[in-house]
Amino acid sequence: MVRTFLDLVQIDSPSKEEAEVAEYLTTALRPLGVEIWQDDAGRKISGKCGNLHVRMKGTLPNVPTLLFSAHLDTVMPGRGVKPHIENGIIRSDGTTVLGADDKSGVAAIVEMLRIVYEQKLPCGAIEVIFDVAEEVGLLGAREIDFSSLRAKCAFVLDNEELNRIVVRSPYANRMLFEVEGIAAHAGMVPERGISAIEVACKAISRMRLGRLDPDSTANIGTFEGGRATNIVADHVTIRAETRSHSEETLQRQTSHMQDCFREILPAFRKEINGKTIEPKFHATVEREFNAMNIGPDSLPYQLAFAAGTELGFHMEPQSIGGGTNANIYNGSGLPAVVIGTGMKDEHTTAEHIAIADLEMCCRFCLEILLQNAKSAA
Ligand SMILES: [Zn+2]
């Protein structure tokens, strides 16, 4: 399993460039008597690879099919990863991420399938999705044809702690704001211009941002505009987001952020060449993902809880502020939780994972299969 993990992290797979790692997995899994194929997500998201689907028949016919998933892409700097092991911990050489996010999940699933096959483990059928372009907006997962799946519930392997089950995560809106002013020579006739930068700054200074309440956040992520010091800036583009576990708060904050712009526009009204001119504002709002909120009586929660407890963990539900593939799964009617792989400090060059945790993640998945067979018996 460690060998598989080390192989995986040494294959470059930035978002939309997962073809090589998908090929490695196809070769590794084919001898296990599984069905394995790629969907058309690659074409739809202009990537080089679709989501890789795997289906393994179970030995027990009346046990619900379970789905396990982990994403194939890694964040930057993630090319040319050189892993090394010291005191049972796997790290990169410090110049790149390790890619344990999410190749620890991928390796654990591969090992789970190997063990089920080699030991003829009594369990139900297993579906696996190794999805693409997760790190750039859950793009692969959005293209999954959920009607083609047989699974009754899903486990997304994409979190740190093995004793946590992610059950709750927020709604998110992504926003693009554009402010249009009037360009003019800043030294000769500034009175004939309206600075889009000034308008945007005034609007943003009135905004509630950061942590809004324990369940809600908002952020201005990028601010771009202007051409030169001697030109009154006529255009600004701003990218922002808000997240909340409450859809009502999400919508209220989304309106508030737009209102801050709209309400400030009249203050910049001006007579230019005999005409009354006001800066213009335009907003595009997009639902990035819907919230997930899984109850303690749901199948994936119960199975993960029972499996972890069986392995000696004190299992706890977790609420997070980010979106994962589980948001997409739950939103598409497939109950899903996120479980940990043991990865630490992901998205940094200090990312690492203990071999013992990596192995435990695989045992966790196997135990979920056993608990599922037990509860269906
Ligand atoms: Zn991840």
Nearest CA to 81 among 103, 96, 101?
96
User: Cα of 75 to ligand 1 centre, how many Å?
Assistant: 9
CA–CA distance from 240 to each of 40, 244, 259, 291 (Å)? 30, 14, 14, 18
> What is the percent of the chain with per-residue pLDDT over 70, rounded to a whole number?
100
The Cα–Cα gap between 361 and 115 comes to 13
pLDDT of residue 377: 79
C-alpha 343 to ligand 1 mean position (Å): 10
How much distance in Å is there from the Cα of 162 to the middle of ligand 1?
Answer: 15
Global pTM value? 0.88
pLDDT in tens, 207-223: 999 999 999 999 999 99
Give the active site residue among 17, 18, 39, 73. 73
Strands annotated E in the chain: 35-38, 52-56, 66-71, 84-86, 89-91, 126-131, 153-159, 164-169, 171-180, 210-213, 216-225, 235-244, 270-272, 275-277, 280-289, 292-293, 316-319, 336-340, 352-354
For the stretch 337-355, pLDDT in tens is: 999 999 999 999 999 999 9
Quick one: pLDDT at residue 376?
86
Encoded tokens for 351? 């990312």
| Section 149-167 average pLDDT | 97
Query: Is 180 designated active site?
Result: no
Tokens 């987001």 belong to 241
Catalytic residue, candidates 134, 135, 158, 367: 134
Q: How far is the CA of 158 from the centre of ligand 1 (A)?
A: 5
Say which residue, 11 or 375, is predicted with more confidence. 11
Q: What is the pLDDT, as a whole number, of residue 273?
A: 87
Q: How far is the centre of ligand 1, averaged over its atoms, from the C-alpha of 102 (Å)?
A: 5
**How many angstroms does the Cα of residue 135 sit away from the middle of ligand 1?**
7
CA 87 to ligand 1 center in whole angstroms: 25
